[in-house]
Structure 1
Amino acid sequence: MAGQTEESDTAREQTKAEQDVDQVRQRAARDQQRLDSGAVTSPKDLENLQKEIVSLAKRQGDLEDVVLEVMERRESVQERVAELTERVGAVQGRIDEATGRRNAASEEIDAETATVTKERAVVAGSVPADLLKLYDKLREQQGGIGAAKLYARTCQGCRQELAITELAEVRKAAPDTVVRCENCRRILVRTSDSGL
Structure 2
Amino acid sequence: MKAAPEAQKRLLDLAGLDTALDRLAHRRRTLPELAEIAELTTRLGRLATEIIGAETEAADLGRDQAKAESDVDAVRVRADRDRKRLDSGQVSSPRDLAGLQSEIASLQRRQDDLEEIVLEIMERREAADARVAKLAGERDEVTATRSAADDRRAAAFAEIDKDADETRRKRDAQTTDIPADLLALYTKLREQTGVGAALLQAGRCQGCRTTLPIAELNRIRSAAHDEVVRCEECRRILVRTAESGL
Compute the TM-score of the two structures, normalised by the length of structure 2: 0.71
Establish whether residue 99 from structure 1 lines up as the match of residue 150 from structure 2.
yes
What residue in structure 2 maps to residue 189 of structure 1? 239
Cα distance, 1:132 vs structure 2: 0.6
Using CA pairs under 8 Å that are at least 6 residues apart, name the structure with larger relative contact order, 1 or 2.
2
What residue in structure 2 maps to residue 23 of structure 1? 74
Per-residue CA deviations over 1:97-148 (Å, capped at 9, x if unaligned) read 2222222222222222221221111111110111111011111112x32123
What residue in structure 1 maps to residue 141 of structure 2? 90
Secondary structure at 1:68 match in 2: helix
What residue in structure 2 maps to residue 32 of structure 1? 83
Runs of 4+ in 1 over 6 A off after TM superposition: none
1:133 to 148, 162, 184: 184
Describe how 1:34-53 pairs up with structure 2 within 5 A: 34-53=85-104
2:159 to 103, 108, 131: 108
What residue in structure 2 maps to residue 9 of structure 1? 60
Aligned residues between the structures = 195
Cα distance, 1:16 vs structure 2: 1.5
Secondary structure at 1:133 match in 2: helix
Unaligned runs of 5+ in 2: 1-51
Cα distance, 1:154 vs structure 2: 3.5
Aligned partners of 1:28, 1:152: CA distance in 2, in Å? 108
What residue in structure 1 maps to residue 29 of structure 2? none
Aligned partners of 1:7, 1:195: CA distance in 2, in Å? 81
What residue in structure 1 maps to residue 49 of structure 2? none
Establish whether residue 79 from structure 1 lines up as the match of residue 144 from structure 2.
no
Cα distance, 1:3 vs structure 2: 1.5
| Identity across matched positions, percent | 55
What residue in structure 2 maps to residue 155 of structure 1? 205
Cα distance, 1:83 vs structure 2: 2.1
Cα distance, 1:2 vs structure 2: 1.3
Aligned partners of 1:50, 1:93: CA distance in 2, in Å? 64
User: What is the one-letter code of the residue matched to 1:181?
Assistant: C
Secondary structure at 2:92 match in 1: coil
Distance 1:160 1:12, change over 3 A: farther
Compute the TM-score of the two structures, normalised by the length of structure 1: 0.87
Cα distance, 1:24 vs structure 2: 1.1
CA RMSD of aligned residues (A): 2.1
Between 1:185-194 and 1:15-24, the stretch displaced more is: 185-194
Aligned partners of 2:244, 2:137: CA distance in 1, in Å? 60
* Larger helix proportion of the pair: 2
Distance 1:129 1:49, change over 3 A: same
Cα distance, 1:188 vs structure 2: 2.4
Aligned partners of 2:70, 2:128: CA distance in 1, in Å? 21
Cα distance, 1:177 vs structure 2: 3.5
Cα distance, 1:92 vs structure 2: 1.9
2:175 to 101, 113, 124: 124
Secondary structure at 2:210 match in 1: coil
Between 1:66-75 and 1:163-172, the stretch displaced more is: 163-172
